[in-house]
């Protein structure tokens, strides 16, 4: 027996592939009937009991898959399910699973152009599609990343390198109070410490206030610091607020600052021409983070970054070495020139295959439908007595709380938290909440491609019924 041989025979590979596919297809088929939130109770003890040493000898695939699909996967939030309205839904388009199988089986090196020129071009094409959907200019270049956090990180590095050079300690970054925490993390990773991050106030719809931004910039200039970057949001995670992107772009142009937009949640609504006015100013940004694993419905693990002047991205990321081939012509795409990675998965195929199979029109229609469903749920819940909309939907996410005569903020928070829990415990719909200035809000985000009219109606019904029940209890 050849103990060092790791290759499977063609017959073995085919058999293993069929077994895995059967489990996956069965899983997807059962999603609509699966609880919206799997049983995660007692998770720490279960996890501790799972600790194991690596097996010295191999085990059969069937047993491993059974444990995975029957015991471990169900103990999780049902993120790909049609009733998932919590956080920011992803989805998990099936063609991307096929793309990953192809990428991982063929295992070509997509980090540098020379190693797989045509595959690099596929990735270049995908980035050009995204550039066109976002109406960025031809000078834009970008990179596919593991997610929005890494996209923002690369953008902060590019802005820092371009505008502060070696004087990064004086560089100041601005974000709204509602900006995603990944902005601060990206800044820290890029060497911009907490005392150089300014939190800008928001208006009554949780959007960044440009007057506050301008005042903060002026104050920092007075102190001798070097304002360099404003990060605004095309859809915040808490309430879905879209900052006044156009006005912020004006401020940045006037002040000569880099304007980065976090479009991880909301960016792909720009694919739909009728919805573009909701994101006016997005295409003027210096850089834009996107999450195809949210707004393009892909499985987790694909983010994107566009930088208006591609050379500024290359300026902070291009690197080479004596053992690597010569640089290529500028019109060709070399991933390592525009991102922090060298060896990397071939992410381009994750986007390319589903777009080729569905066509853009179908994806665009699905994106538009998610906003329409959010508006429908919002309209229905706005009529429910005792349910107060705190943040209306700018895109497909809105936030609300329960309220009644004489209620204290603490009681409202507690009742709203109870609402999220009760609706989720009914098993068809999963909601999540957020705390803003000490007050708890429930939120509904429609972004799963599997969420259709039926689930939107169920969501509105379950929220309305549980609201009535909780308020009746509060009144007694």
Ligand X SMILES: Cc1ncc(COP(=O)(O)O)c(C=O)c1O
Stretch that binds ligand X, among 194-202, 261-269, 332-340, 387-395 (CB under 6 A): 261-269
Stretch that binds ligand X, among 8-16, 147-155, 199-207, 362-370 (CB under 6 A): 147-155
Asked if 295 is part of the footprint of ligand X (rule: CB under 6 A), the reply reads no
Stretch that binds ligand X, among 11-19, 62-70, 260-268, 395-403 (CB under 6 A): 260-268
Task: Kindly provide the b/e burial profile for residues 262-291, where b requires at least 16 CB atoms within 10 angstroms of the residue's own CB.
Answer: bbbbbbbbbbbeebeebbebbbbbbbbbbb
Nearest approach, Cβ of residue 88 and ligand X (Å): 5
Of the two residues 113 and 449, which places its CB atom closer to ligand X in the complex?
449
Of the two residues 23 and 300, which places its CB atom closer to ligand X in the complex?
300
Of the two residues 124 and 303, which places its CB atom closer to ligand X in the complex?
303
Asked if 423 is part of the footprint of ligand X (rule: CB under 6 A), the reply reads no
Nearest to residue 446, comparing CAs of 178, 84, 81, 92? 84
Nearest to residue 425, comparing CAs of 18, 28, 33, 35? 35
Asked if 303 is part of the footprint of ligand X (rule: CB under 6 A), the reply reads yes
Of the two residues 265 and 269, which places its CB atom closer to ligand X in the complex?
265
Asked if 447 is part of the footprint of ligand X (rule: CB under 6 A), the reply reads no
Of the two residues 149 and 432, which places its CB atom closer to ligand X in the complex?
149
Asked if 90 is part of the footprint of ligand X (rule: CB under 6 A), the reply reads no
CA distance 444 to 457: 13
Nearest approach, Cβ of residue 347 and ligand X (Å): 13
Mapping DSSP onto H, E and C, the string for the chain reads CCCCCCCCCHHHHHHHHHHHHHHHHHHHHHHHHCCCECCCCCHHHHHHHCCCCCCCCCCCHHHHHHHHHHHHCCCCECCCCCCECCCCCCCCCHHHHHHHHHHHHHCCCCCCHHHCHHHHHHHHHHHHHHHHHCCCCCCCEEEEECCHHHHHHHHHHHHHHHHCCCCHHHEEEEEECCCCHHHHHHHHHCCCCHHHEEEECECCCCCECHHHHHHHHHHHHHCCCEEEEEEEEECCCCCCCECCHHHHHHHHHHHCCEEEEEECCCHHHHHCHHHHHHHCCHHHCCEEEECHHHHCCCCCCCEEEEECCHHHHHHHHCCCCCCCCCCCCCCCCCHHHHCCCCCCCCCHHHHHHHHHHHCHHHHHHHHHHHHHHHHHHHHHHHCCCCEEEEECCCCCEEEEEECCCCCCHHHHHHHHHHHHHHHHHCCCCECEEEEECCEEEEEEECCCCCCCHHHHHHHHHHHHHHHHHHHHHHHC
Asked if 148 is part of the footprint of ligand X (rule: CB under 6 A), the reply reads yes
Binds ligand X by CB under 6 A, chosen from 147, 299, 339, 348: 147
Applying the rule CB under 6 A, the residues between 337 and 366 that interact with ligand X are: none
Nearest approach, Cβ of residue 169 and ligand X (Å): 26
Binds ligand X by CB under 6 A, chosen from 264, 288, 304, 374: 264
Asked if 262 is part of the footprint of ligand X (rule: CB under 6 A), the reply reads yes
Asked if 81 is part of the footprint of ligand X (rule: CB under 6 A), the reply reads no
Asked if 265 is part of the footprint of ligand X (rule: CB under 6 A), the reply reads yes
Asked if 393 is part of the footprint of ligand X (rule: CB under 6 A), the reply reads no
Nearest to residue 153, comparing CAs of 120, 125, 194, 181? 181
Stretch that binds ligand X, among 61-69, 143-151, 249-257, 379-387 (CB under 6 A): 143-151
Binds ligand X by CB under 6 A, chosen from 178, 291, 341, 412: 291
Nearest approach, Cβ of residue 433 and ligand X (Å): 15
Asked if 299 is part of the footprint of ligand X (rule: CB under 6 A), the reply reads no
Asked if 182 is part of the footprint of ligand X (rule: CB under 6 A), the reply reads yes
Write the binding mask 225 to 244 for ligand X: x where contact by CB under 6 A, - elsewhere: ----------xxx-------
Asked if 85 is part of the footprint of ligand X (rule: CB under 6 A), the reply reads no
Asked if 212 is part of the footprint of ligand X (rule: CB under 6 A), the reply reads no
Of the two residues 116 and 441, which places its CB atom closer to ligand X in the complex?
441
Of the two residues 397 and 423, which places its CB atom closer to ligand X in the complex?
397
Asked if 88 is part of the footprint of ligand X (rule: CB under 6 A), the reply reads yes
How many residues in the shown chain lie near ligand X by CB under 6 A? 14
Of the two residues 298 and 415, which places its CB atom closer to ligand X in the complex?
298
Residues that bind ligand X (CB under 6 A): 88, 147-149, 180, 182, 235-237, 262, 264-265, 291, 303
């Amino acid at each position: 027996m050849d103990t060092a041989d790791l290759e499977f025979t063609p017959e073995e590979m085919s058999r293993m592939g069929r077994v895995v596919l059967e489990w996956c297809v069965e899983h997807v088929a059962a999603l609509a009937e699966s609880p919206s939130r799997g049983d995660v109770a007692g998770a720490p003890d279960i996890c501790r009991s799972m600790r194991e040493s690596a097996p010295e000898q191999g085990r059969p695939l069937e047993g491993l898959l059974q444990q995975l699909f029957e015991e471990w996967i169900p103990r999780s939030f049902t993120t790909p399910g049609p009733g998932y309205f919590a956080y920011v839904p992803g989805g998990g388009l099936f063609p991307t699973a096929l793309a990953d199988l192809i990428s991982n089986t063929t295992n070509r090196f997509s980090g540098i152009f020379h190693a797989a020129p045509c595959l690099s071009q596929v990735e270049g094409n995908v980035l050009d599609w995204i550039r066109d959907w976002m109406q960025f200019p031809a000078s834009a270049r970008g990179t596919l990343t593991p997610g929005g956090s890494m996209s923002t990180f690369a953008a902060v590095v590019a802005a820092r390198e371009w505008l502060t050079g070696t004087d990064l300690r004086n560089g100041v970054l601005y974000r709204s109070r509602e900006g995603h925490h990944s902005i601060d993390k990206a800044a820290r990773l890029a060497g911009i410490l907490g005392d150089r991050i300014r939190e800008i106030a928001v208006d009554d719809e949780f959007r960044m206030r440009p007057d506050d931004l301008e005042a903060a910039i002026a104050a920092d200039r007075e102190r001798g610091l070097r304002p360099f970057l404003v990060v605004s949001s095309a859809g915040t995670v808490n309430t879905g607020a879209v900052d006044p992107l156009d006005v912020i772009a004006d401020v940045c142009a006037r002040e000569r600052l880099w304007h980065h937009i976090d479009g991880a949640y909301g960016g792909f609504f720009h694919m739909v021409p009728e919805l573009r006015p909701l994101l006016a100013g997005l295409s003027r940004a210096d850089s834009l983070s996107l999450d195809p694993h949210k707004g393009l419905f892909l499985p987790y693990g694909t983010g994107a970054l566009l930088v208006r002047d591609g050379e500024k991205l290359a300026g902070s990321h291009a690197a080479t070495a004596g053992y690597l081939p010569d640089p290529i012509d500028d019109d060709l795409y070399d991933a390592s020139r525009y991102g922090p990675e060298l060896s990397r998965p071939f992410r381009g195929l994750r986007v390319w295959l589903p777009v080729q199979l569905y066509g853009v029109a179908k994806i665009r229609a699905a994106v538009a439908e998610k906003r329409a469903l959010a508006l429908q749920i919002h309209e229905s819940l706005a009529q429910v007595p005792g349910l107060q909309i705190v943040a209306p939907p700018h895109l497909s996410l809105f936030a609300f709380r329960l309220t009644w005569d004489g209620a204290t903020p603490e009681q409202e928070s507690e009742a709203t938290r109870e609402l999220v829990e009760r609706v989720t415990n009914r098993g068809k719909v999963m909601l999540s909440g957020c705390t803003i200035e000490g007050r708890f809000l429930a939120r509904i985000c429609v972004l799963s491609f599997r969420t259709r009219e039926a689930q939107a109606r169920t969501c509105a019904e379950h929220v309305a019924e549980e609201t009535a029940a909780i308020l009746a209890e509060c009144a007694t």
